[in-house]
Amino acid sequence: MARAGAMATGEPGAEGGGLARRVERHPLAALLLALAIVLFLWLVLADWPEELERWLGRKRVFVSALFNGITLGGLYFLVATGFTLIFGLMRNVNLAHGSLYLFGGYLAYSTVQATGLWLPSFLVAFVLVAIVGLLLQVLVFRHMEGQELRQTLVTIGLSIVFADLMLWVWGGDFYQIPTPEWLAGPIDTPIVLDVRPNGEAVYLRYPRVRLVIFAASVVIGVLLWLAINKTRVGMLIRAGVDDREMLAASGVPIQLLFALVFAFGAGLAGMAGVVGGTFQSISPGEDTRFLLASLVVVIVGGLGSIPGAALGALLIGLAEQFGSVYLPTYAIVFSFLIMVLVLAFRPQGLLSVR
């Protein structure tokens, strides 16, 4: 059980001594992983020989797809991490999670329209959506603890009601949260794509906003990991994931903890809505799209595991982007193919808790 606790909050938690042990235990897997990383680095950094260009097309396409997959994974991580956090602690499959995402996006759009400020809109979306999450936990889920089927059905119902309410307020239009001036346009990265015959190097130009958003999601991921592993509340959450009843019996106000985690997970979804609305767009239907994406991500990564959500998000993001470039006809199938493979060979998810 103690082992599961460490895993729930992070594979990285087992790092240090754990890493060496793991390499010892699976030398082949470790070797393959190291090789794959080296190959990837080489693909990104090296000047491609012609043979390879014939195989994979121009280097720019490959590197862009890689970057796009990673940044899209950052967005998926933001949405899925709240979902998986809530599930990990409360065993509560919140199928209204996509609605929280969409609600956050709409709120941020209205905030930016009213004030013209982009960063504060994150705060607005986080706080208001967290309040919605809090209300959901206190008014609805608290009364059906442990009844998974009922919770699932109620959350589906709620997601439909929310979708209609949002359609009523914001209409069927699609909105784009305007990117602030300082984030608009591309930046030149130091990655060389091509060397022109005259010796001049062509660098990769990449949208600034996507890089910033990816950096932000990494920061959030690390902060979350620190919070769960290094703080008292985090300790309580870990204990709750392991054994709820025991934790409640030892006098911890577990309902308060549940409410807090639910609010936080919802707030994260709301913030993800701002991100999604900035580099993509928000409209009715996005709620189910992102619910589906987070479901796939957490099924691949392992329900309840935050590193699992990160890995799943990365895999799905990469699969979508590489699929759309190299095999556009089947692009949609890829993420589901990954899910099917994971379900077939490791049904508990790649980095699952139990």
Partner 1 sequence: MKRILLGATALASLALALAAEAAEKLKIGVTATLEGTYTVLGEDGMRGFELALRKWNRKAGGKDLEIVVASTDATPDSAIRAVRKLVEQDKVDLVISPLSGSEGIAVRDYAHTRPQMTFVNAASGAMETTFVNPAPNFFRWNMDGAQWQAGLGDYIYKNKGYRKIATVGEDYSFVYTQVFGLAVEFCGLGGQITQRFWVPLGTKDFASIIAALPDDVDAVYLGLGGADAVNFLNQYAQAGGNAKIVGGSIMVDQTVLSSKGRAKEILKGAVAASGMADTWEDPRWQAFVKAYQDAFPPDKRFASPSLLAVNYYNSASATFTTLDKINGDLSDGHKKFRETMAKLELDAPNGKIRLDENRQAIGTNFVTEVVEDAQGNLVSKVVKVVENVNQTLGLPLDKFKALGLPSRTNPECKKY
- Contacts with partner 1 by CB under 8 A lie at 57, 60-61, 64-65, 67-69, 71-72, 172-176, 178-179, 184-186, 205-210, 279-281, 283-285, 289, 320-322, 324-325, 328-329, 331-332
Q: Which is nearer to partner 1, 152 or 176 (CB)?
A: 176
Minimum Å gap between C-beta 217 and partner 1 is 15
Minimum Å gap between C-beta 173 and partner 1 is 6
- In the chain, the amino acid numbered 327 is L
Residues 6+ apart with CB under 8 A from 76: 293, 294, 297, 312, 313, 316, 317
Minimum Å gap between C-beta 32 and partner 1 is 27
Q: Which is nearer to partner 1, 71 or 294 (CB)?
A: 71
Minimum Å gap between C-beta 350 and partner 1 is 23
In residues, how long is the chain?
A: 354
Q: Which is nearer to partner 1, 61 or 235 (CB)?
A: 61
Q: Which is nearer to partner 1, 60 or 354 (CB)?
A: 60
Q: The dihedral of CA 110, 112, 116, 119: what is its sign?
A: positive
Q: What angle do helix axes 119-135 and 254-279 make, rounded to 10 degrees?
A: 140
Minimum Å gap between C-beta 159 and partner 1 is 16
CA 173 to CA 284: how far, in whole Å?
8
Q: Which is nearer to partner 1, 314 or 351 (CB)?
A: 314
